[in-house]
Structure 1
């Protein structure tokens, strides 16, 4: 029996590789001799860098960049042979895992480190930069990133303002005199796990602001500020699909670097040759930290399911489940199993994730054995 295990990472808990290993351990209790194929995946968020690095035979290294609040952090970047292509993960600079719960406010978190990584890539010979923009703690519309590339943002008095989301509504002029011409010679491909537009009820602020620490009371004003700024500098991106990714950095990369916005899961699936691996599978296991209706909008598990033959079951093992799972079923997921066993604090749940995954995988395997 061939079993393909292709989960995404569990945010702030386990890498995709770790999730795959724990699911395999649970399945082996029932199927010790099955032919297991572990294919951890990413869709632009945390862990995508490592997955693509292996698929593209890229070499990883750590560099010092600005973190969420300007402090220095070590971030991973990868280069293919000859440094032609660089792989960057936004979460390395301003991911949620870098910001303590007590300090989470996306209007104060900067994306400057992302711009610094892009500059480093160019200075080291890259002509193409692939940027994964999931897992961000920021909502600055990418102006921190742009500032690191040489753009300045000025208020009505002609003063330079700090490039954070809290200042978007104060900007009246963008100065590009210090921007290098070299930026026009590179290709920027942005891979993202969401299709959300920049603004409005389905945009970056309303949908993702709360999970980054933005209060409900501040959401309308923050969305208005984002709309104001981009109607000033590039109105075309306000309703553009995927522009809301990464707290609006998708719009920023398009506006300031003429980037291409791509489906992260489609990009990764092609790199991993997912269809070829799954074509003769008897069972495919996917997973992510939380599965809900939004998972059907370009997230990794559904992306994998679309590559699987019609009669092959696709089982999702997740941390928890939310509403609107009908959209997930319609997209090709056969069944969804939450792994959290009892009410607990987030800290307790994260600690128990390996055991929860093993137990749930074992139970899924036992049910599967009863029908084959």
Structure 2
């Protein structure tokens, strides 16, 4: 029996590596002789850098940068095992996790630190980048990131505008003269599962702004400012981000990459699956087990379990999903090779309890799944009885 274990993290509880280890313990409890391959993955959000570093035996470098609220924070970028590819998570410098509870500031939050990470990596000699966009606390259209890389965003007085999406309306001219020239000779693979445009009811501000603390009035201001920002960008680059798919990712950072970088955007989970050589492990595999903290109709939009299941289905390998919580609309997942979806919660408990017990719950659930799914093999192995 050959099983691939390829989960995402259970956010706020366990990393993808910890989830994979817990599932593996459960598999081995049921069938010690099973051949397991642990391939923790991510979808371009938080954890992508750690996953790729672990998969390629790379390393991490710390950098002090400007955080989303303008204070100094410790961030990091990863170097993959090839020694040539740099992986940067926007969340490491500009993420929600860097904002204290109750301090979200969607009009002021900046991506300046993300630009500093890119600049440091360029200074360190890297020209090949993987950029993971998820988890940002910002809605500035990537303006701060571009400023850190030398782009001048000037108001009607010729002075640089301040940080945040609330200042985008002040931009009267974009000066590209000092934009880092090394960027045009580099390559950027942008990993994201978001296809939203920059503006409008389906754009960055309306869809993701509330998650970053934006009130209805804030959303209106941010969307209007983002439209002005897109107009200014179109004037300089000829690229219209207004309705461009993916431009709204990470509060509009996706659009900044599409307009100012030699960038290629791909679904985050596909990028990670390629680097962990997922398809290389699929031959003669009997089952894939994947999962993440919440599985519902949104999972089918390109999140980790869907990407894993689709890849497995390409080789006719079935998948099972484990989740902390199972919501509505999971039926669509059955069209992508998913056999079943299971919540790991085995009795009434609070969210806090389930998160603190996630490792043991995953282990127990994985054991029961293997006992059920491979009943005949286990029975034969144990001489006609189950232990």
CA 1:323–1:156 in 2, change beyond 3 Å: closer, same or farther? farther
**Which runs of structure 2 are paired with 1:121-160 in the superposition (5 Å)?**
121-160=121-160
**TM-score, normalisation: structure 1:** 0.90
Say if 2:117 is the partner of 1:112.
no
Q: Quote the residue 1:197 is aligned against.
A: 197
Q: Quote the residue 1:90 is aligned against.
A: 90
Which of 244, 249, 265 aligns to 1:245? It is 249
Separation of aligned partners in 1, 2:196 and 2:177: 32
* Post-superposition offset of 1:107: 3.1
* Post-superposition offset of 1:55: 3.9
Which of 262, 274, 278 aligns to 1:270? It is 274
**TM-score, normalisation: structure 2:** 0.87
DSSP-derived class of the 2:52 partner: helix
Which structure 1 residue ranges, 5 or more long, are not aligned? none
Separation of aligned partners in 1, 2:336 and 2:202: 20
**Which runs of structure 2 are paired with 1:260-299 in the superposition (5 Å)?**
260-299=264-303
Separation of aligned partners in 2, 1:270 and 1:247: 26
Which structure 2 residue ranges, 5 or more long, are not aligned? 378-387
Farther-moved stretch of structure 1 (275-284 vs 230-239): 230-239
8 Å CA contact 2:56–2:81 kept in 1: the answer is: no
**Which runs of structure 2 are paired with 1:218-257 in the superposition (5 Å)?**
218-234=218-234, 236-257=240-261
* Post-superposition offset of 1:48: 1.4
Per-residue CA deviation, residues 290-343 of structure 1 (Å, 9 max, x unaligned), is 222222222221111122146432111112233322332223322212234545
Q: Quote the residue 2:161 is aligned against.
A: 161
DSSP-derived class of the 2:24 partner: helix
Runs (4+) off by over 6 Å = none
Structure number, greater radius of gyration: 2
Q: Quote the residue 2:383 is aligned against.
A: none
DSSP-derived class of the 2:30 partner: coil
Separation of aligned partners in 2, 1:259 and 1:313: 34
Separation of aligned partners in 1, 2:136 and 2:376: 42
Separation of aligned partners in 2, 1:368 and 1:216: 48
* Post-superposition offset of 1:283: 1.3
* Post-superposition offset of 1:131: 1.0
CA 1:63–1:315 in 2, change beyond 3 Å: closer, same or farther? same
Separation of aligned partners in 2, 1:343 and 1:312: 34
Say if 2:309 is the partner of 1:305.
yes
Farther-moved stretch of structure 1 (111-120 vs 154-163): 154-163
CA 1:73–1:338 in 2, change beyond 3 Å: closer, same or farther? same
Farther-moved stretch of structure 1 (63-72 vs 357-366): 357-366
Farther-moved stretch of structure 1 (88-97 vs 202-211): 202-211
* Post-superposition offset of 1:177: 3.4
Per-residue CA deviation, residues 204-261 of structure 1 (Å, 9 max, x unaligned), is 2233233333334533442232223113313522222222221211101222324222
Q: Quote the residue 2:20 is aligned against.
A: 20
The alignment covers a number of residue pairs equal to 371
CA 1:270–1:149 in 2, change beyond 3 Å: closer, same or farther? same
* Post-superposition offset of 1:125: 1.1
Q: Quote the residue 2:67 is aligned against.
A: 67
* Post-superposition offset of 1:199: 2.5
CA RMSD of aligned residues (A): 2.4
Which of 344, 352, 355 aligns to 2:350? It is 344
Separation of aligned partners in 2, 1:213 and 1:25: 39
DSSP-derived class of the 1:177 partner: coil
Separation of aligned partners in 2, 1:166 and 1:281: 51
Farther-moved stretch of structure 1 (90-99 vs 326-335): 326-335
* Post-superposition offset of 1:371: 6.9
DSSP-derived class of the 2:109 partner: coil
* Post-superposition offset of 1:6: 0.1
DSSP-derived class of the 1:237 partner: coil
**Which runs of structure 2 are paired with 1:28-107 in the superposition (5 Å)?**
28-80=28-80, 84-107=84-107
